[in-house]
Amino acid sequence: MNIPEYIERPLYMDRVMQYVRKDIIKVFVGQRRVGKSYLLFQMMDRISALDPDGDLIYINKELYEFSEIRTAGDLMDYIAARRRTGHTLSLFIDELQDIDGFETALRSLQAEGNADIYVTGSNAKMLSGELATYLSGRYVEIKVYGLTYNEFLTFHGAKPGHSSLENYLKFGGLPYLKHLPMDETVVFDYLRNVVDAILLKDIVSRYDIRNVSFLQRLTRFLADNVGSLVTARKISEYLKSQKITLSHNMVINYLIYLSNALLVLPARRFDIVGKKVFEIGEKYYFEDLGIRHALIGYRSTDINKILENVVFMHLKAAGWDVTVGQLGGKEVDFVCEKGGERLYIQVAYLIPDETVRNREFGNLLAIPDNFPKKVVSMDAVAGGTHLGIEHVSLANFLGSI
């Protein structure tokens, strides 16, 4: 096949290259349209260079030519007809979840040996749950997100600055936007179509949803409440105000469906002193800010919500596990953990005076440990430290990866 042109994303290539030719299935998981297909293309080029005489098989379940591959048996027959004895197989499958019983085929191929397997999927529960059950210890999940700010600059041929940062905060980081003018009408129309595809293909069809109207209302509710604690009770009360009655269990299920489709990502609350995760009350952030704005509009009055969302997603792309910190009656925006390290982040729009400074830095100063702590804001003169806590401008923070 002719591989289309692409812009490399080293953030993910560097992570996956360490598993090349290892007896482990490489799984790219992410929301639709975040660029998983093009990561497969990048890997195909690299594998072809490493093993030009190997068998490379590519299957994309979104293309009609592969529509007859519906089951694990169909998949095995397709591969058998194209595989040569004695040659290493490099298998690439895009949107794996559309093949019934795919896990049995992958397990069989892996047992046979001499197969290097790369797949993508758009549903976290299906991949994480079923692969974990059938391929325990035999696969690695590479979580793929929309473009980081640095990637956004590269894709759009832009330079760091106020204009590019504003476009990133307004339109988000889906890679296809590089082909569109940075115009609200054009971009938001495209993003609303992406939302419709996620809701219909990854939620309504998969879970046999009947109340599509409520699913859409819930998605908009989450968009309007980014960075706020969300509970089933709070949503139920909102619905009652709209003269809609649904059980708490149904609300919880719909929240799970939206999270499984990776449209939104939950951040659970973490007791910093007690070192435990609360079971009730989460914050939800959108994988892509542009999608959030396409749903409810881009409003400058939402700047604090927008900044929290973009910082949260930047931390996730950098590989941090992120929770919302609880310290008595105070809240720390993000508690981040990775490889035994911990980092505390407080997000603010601006710090114009001593009162705001004391509030934003004070929450971090109250934490009884010596892990790094940062305040991130849009202040043009952000920099240096305050009582040992680093103050970082949003642009510099987002430029860190």
H helices within 182-339, ranges in order? 184-197, 205-207, 212-224, 232-241, 248-260, 289-296, 303-317
Note if the pTM is more than 0.85. yes
Are 349 and 384 within 8 A, CB to CB?
no
Q: In angstroms, rounded to a whole number, what is the distance separating the alpha carbons of residues 154 and 399?
A: 12
CATH number at residue 96: 3.40.50.300
Indicate the angle between helix axes 289-296 and 212-224, nearest 10 degrees.
110
Backbone angles phi, psi at 157, to 5 degrees: 60, 35
CATH number at residue 360: 3.40.1350
For 341, the token pair is: 């390290």
pLDDT at 194: 97
Query: Contacts from 218-222 at CB under 8 Å and sequence distance 24+?
Result: 218/251, 218/254, 218/255, 218/258, 219/195, 219/258, 219/263, 219/264, 219/295, 220/295, 220/296, 222/258, 222/264, 222/284, 222/286
pLDDT at 59: 98
Q: In angstroms, rounded to a whole number, what is the distance separating the alpha carbons of residues 138 and 115?
A: 13
In a domain, 387, yes or no: yes
In a domain, 363, yes or no: yes
In a domain, 204, yes or no: no
Amino acid at 103: E
Contacts of 130 (CB under 8 A, 6+ apart): 103
In a domain, 18, yes or no: yes
Domain that holds residue 390: 299-401
In a domain, 181, yes or no: no
pLDDT at 84: 93
DSSP string, 97-123: GGSBTHHHHHHHHHHH-SEEEEEEES-
In a domain, 279, yes or no: no
DSSP category for residue 35 = S
Boundary of a domain, candidates 143, 162, 178: 143
Per-residue model confidence as pLDDT tens digits over 38-52: 999 999 999 999 999
Q: How many domains does the chain have?
A: 2
In a domain, 236, yes or no: no
Low-confidence ranges of the chain (pLDDT < 50): none
For 277, the token pair is: 């995760």
Boundary of a domain, candidates 94, 124, 143: 143
Dump strand ranges (E) for 30-98.
55-60, 89-94
Boundary of a domain, candidates 108, 124, 143: 143
In a domain, 223, yes or no: no
